[in-house]
Amino acid sequence: MRKIITFFFIILITEANAENKIIYGGFSYGSILPENTLTKYIHDRTNGQSIIDKILLKTSKKINNKTFRLSFDLLMDGLSEKDQNVLVLALDDESIDFITIEGDNLTRTDIILSFQVIFFNTKNNSLNASIPIEVSKVLNSSQPLSKNQIISELKNMYENEVMEYFLQLVNNFKLKNKYNNRIGITKVVFEENAENFIHQNTEINDIFKKNKFAKNLSSLLSFNNNIAIVPYSQDRTSSTIMLKFQNSTREIKLPNPDYHIHLTIRGFKNILFKEGNIDEQWIYGSYVKIKIFQPDLEKVYFDEKLKNGLNVEFSKRSTKNKGSFEWIFFIDSLKILFDNFSKQTVEIDKKWLKSASKNKKINKSFKELAKIYEKCK
């Protein structure tokens, strides 16, 4: 069984100082319900501390950050507001998808874990900082994985990749009290083509599917540009996120972004690119529109349609039922589009831009975006 592991992480910053004490808050669930996860088997506290409790505590004791001191004391009554800041690792989403390519005797299983490393104040329930992390693993096997096999893979991910990157990110994170400008995705729209595709290929509620796309774009924007991203709120009727602990919940207030990102998923399309005697090459296209603007000033900085094509090769014997599995390649194409889009403000890729946009002057738009991102650091 071959494994491919990728990591995406975001840093959302507010200000602090070296004397700042942060209290260890352990593990929680974010916008996902515990009963809807397989993580619940690794976070089973029936006999005391769970596996996640133990490895997270052990890892957190290795944190060495110059901008704050992590304390393992319990929160006490009578503490001042500045002494009630807490660090929590929250599971925001767990996604396990699989496809079976019968002609090639191949099953692909995708495991995606989305977290938020959250610094918040317990006195006023306000967000100080959030560092979203996405850890994904692709598993190829000759047979579909059993539930126990997937749980075993999840356990390995928590013990290794998740803890490794949690420690690395927190050690390198510069905690602050304030930053002047914020940016975040505030709206996700599905056009008819995209909505039909999503309805046909997933059972996930529309709101939560929008949330997944927003998280993926946010993580890549922040990772590639080192900028703060305000967490996406699913319906924007609420400016809070909920943390779920063993015996309590916390509703954390989100700051409002100064710069808004509207993401429109326009649709998906595939074409046969090349056909041989024993195989076929297909191009999987994804199409979006991204608008970035400042509503207070009614100023638009970026408003462009973009597309991306992913070349996938199949054996002819596997194409007979490709309609049952090819949706995952459309999603791969979309993720590559998000990644390439987010990199253009770091270094322009003329070849990709030529294929992605009809606007020959789009370079200027990305230069404007780079200035906006700089203000959000």
Q: What is the DSSP string of 82-112?
A: GG-EEEEEEEEEEEEEEEEEGGGTEEEEEEE
- How does residue 13 score in pLDDT terms, banded at 50, 70 and 90? very low
Distance CA 303, CA 105 (A): 44
Give the 3-state secondary structure of residue 27: strand
Angle of CA points 330, 332, 335, to nearest 5°: 110
The domains located in the chain, with CATH, are: 2-179 (3.30.160), 260-375 (3.30.160)
Span 139-171, pLDDT tens digits: 999 999 999 999 999 999 999 999 998 998 888
- Spatial neighbors of 211 by CB under 8 A, at least 6 apart, are 31, 93, 188, 232, 234
* Phi, psi dihedral angles at 224 (to 5 degrees): -80, -20
Q: Residue 1: its pLDDT value, please?
A: 54
Closest CA to 184 of 337, 305, 292, 265: 292
Q: Residue 73: its pLDDT value, please?
A: 85
Q: Residue 242: its pLDDT value, please?
A: 74
Q: What average pLDDT does the segment 45-67 reach?
A: 94
Tokens 């005797």 belong to which residue?
A: 105
Distance CA 123, CA 81 (A): 6
Q: Is the separation of the CB atoms in 309 and 285 below 8 Å?
A: yes
Distance CA 129, CA 169 (A): 13
Span 351-362, pLDDT tens digits: 999 999 999 999
Least confident of 68-82, 123-137, 280-294: 68-82
- Spatial neighbors of 224 by CB under 8 A, at least 6 apart, are 339, 342, 343, 345, 346
Span 64-112, pLDDT tens digits: 999 899 999 876 555 555 668 899 999 988 999 888 887 778 899 999 9
End-to-end CA distance of the chain: 41
Q: Residue 80: its pLDDT value, please?
A: 54
> Mean pLDDT over all residues of the chain?
86
DSSP assignment letter at 344: T
- Spatial neighbors of 238 by CB under 8 A, at least 6 apart, are none
